[in-house]
Structure 1
Amino acid sequence: MRQLSLVVTCTDRKMSMPCSTLRARSLPTGSTEHRAQVWQARLNEASGLIPLSSLYQGEHWVQARQLAGAAALAGFAPQMWVASAGLGLQPITASAPAYAATFSPRHADSVGESTADSVRWWNYLQVGRGNSTLEDLGRRGAVLLSLSEVYGNALRNDLSALGALGAEAVLIGGSADIPGLLRVPARATLRSALGGTLTSLNVRMAASWLRHCTDGRLTSTTTARSWERWAATADKAERYDRTSLSDEAVKDFIRRHVQLHPDYSRTRLHRLMRDAGLACEQKRFAMLYAETMEER
Structure 2
Amino acid sequence: MRQLSLVVTCTDRKMARPAPELLARNLPEGNVDHRVAIWDKRLGEVPRSFSLAQLYQGEHWVQVRVLVETAVSAGLSPQLWVASAGLGLQSVSNTAPPYAATFGARHADSVASTRTERTRWWGRLQEARGATTLSELADQGPALLVLSEPYAAAMHDELRAAGQRGDDVLLIGGERDIPGIHRVPANGALRGALGGTLTSLNVRMAASWLKHWRTGRPLVSAETAASWKRWAAAAEHHERYQRTPMTDEEIREFIRTESARNPGYSRTRLHRLLRESGRACEQKRFALLYAATMEE
User: Is TM > 0.5 for Structure 1 vs Structure 2?
Assistant: yes
Q: Deviations over 1:132-162 (max 9, x none)?
A: 1001101111100110000110000110000
Q: Could you tell me which residue of structure 2 aligns to residue 8 of structure 1?
A: 8
Q: Deviations over 1:43-88 (max 9, x none)?
A: 0111110111111111111001111111112221110000000000
SS of residue matched to 1:15: coil
Moved over 4 A (4+): none
Give me the whole-angstrom Cα distance separating, in 2, the residues matched to 1:59 and 1:28: 32
Give me the whole-angstrom Cα distance separating, in 2, the residues matched to 1:166 and 1:53: 26
Kindly provide the amino acid, as one letter, of the partner of residue 94 in structure 1.
N
SS of residue matched to 2:103: coil
Q: Could you tell me which residue of structure 2 aligns to residue 94 of structure 1?
A: 94
RMSD: 1.5
Kindly provide the amino acid, as one letter, of the partner of residue 81 in structure 2.
W
Kindly provide the amino acid, as one letter, of the partner of residue 179 in structure 1.
P
Give me the whole-angstrom Cα distance separating, in 2, the residues matched to 1:68 and 1:166: 21
Q: Deviations over 1:6-61 (max 9, x none)?
A: 00000011101101100001111111000000000000111110111111111111
Is contact 2:139-2:166 (8 Å) kept? no
Q: How does 1:12-161 map to 2 (within 5 A)?
A: 12-161=12-161
1:219 aligns with 2:220: yes
Kindly provide the amino acid, as one letter, of the partner of residue 19 in structure 1.
A
Unaligned runs of 5+ in 2: 246-275, 279-296
Is contact 1:106-1:113 (8 Å) kept? no
Using the size of structure 2 for normalisation, the TM-score is 0.81
Is contact 1:5-1:141 (8 Å) kept? yes
Deviation at 1:240?
A: 2.9
Q: Could you tell me which residue of structure 2 aligns to residue 177 of structure 1?
A: 177
Deviation at 1:215?
A: 3.7
SS of residue matched to 1:6: strand
Using the size of structure 1 for normalisation, the TM-score is 0.81
Give me the whole-angstrom Cα distance separating, in 1, the residues matched to 2:82 and 2:5: 10
Is contact 1:32-1:120 (8 Å) kept? yes
Unaligned runs of 5+ in 1: 245-278, 282-296
The number of residues matched between the two structures is 248
Is contact 2:141-2:166 (8 Å) kept? no
SS of residue matched to 2:143: strand
Q: Deviations over 1:172-205 (max 9, x none)?
A: 0000000000000000000000000000000000
Q: Could you tell me which residue of structure 1 aligns to residue 199 of structure 2?
A: 199
Between the two proteins, what is the percent identity of the paired residues?
57
Give me the whole-angstrom Cα distance separating, in 2, the residues matched to 1:221 and 1:243: 43
Q: Could you tell me which residue of structure 2 aligns to residue 230 of structure 1?
A: 231
Is contact 1:215-1:223 (8 Å) kept? no
Kindly provide the amino acid, as one letter, of the partner of residue 31 in structure 1.
N
Deviation at 1:280?
A: 4.6
Is contact 2:135-2:166 (8 Å) kept? no
Give me the whole-angstrom Cα distance separating, in 2, the residues matched to 1:163 and 1:280: 35
Give me the whole-angstrom Cα distance separating, in 1, the residues matched to 2:234 and 2:56: 33
Kindly provide the amino acid, as one letter, of the partner of residue 192 in structure 2.
S
Is contact 1:36-1:124 (8 Å) kept? yes
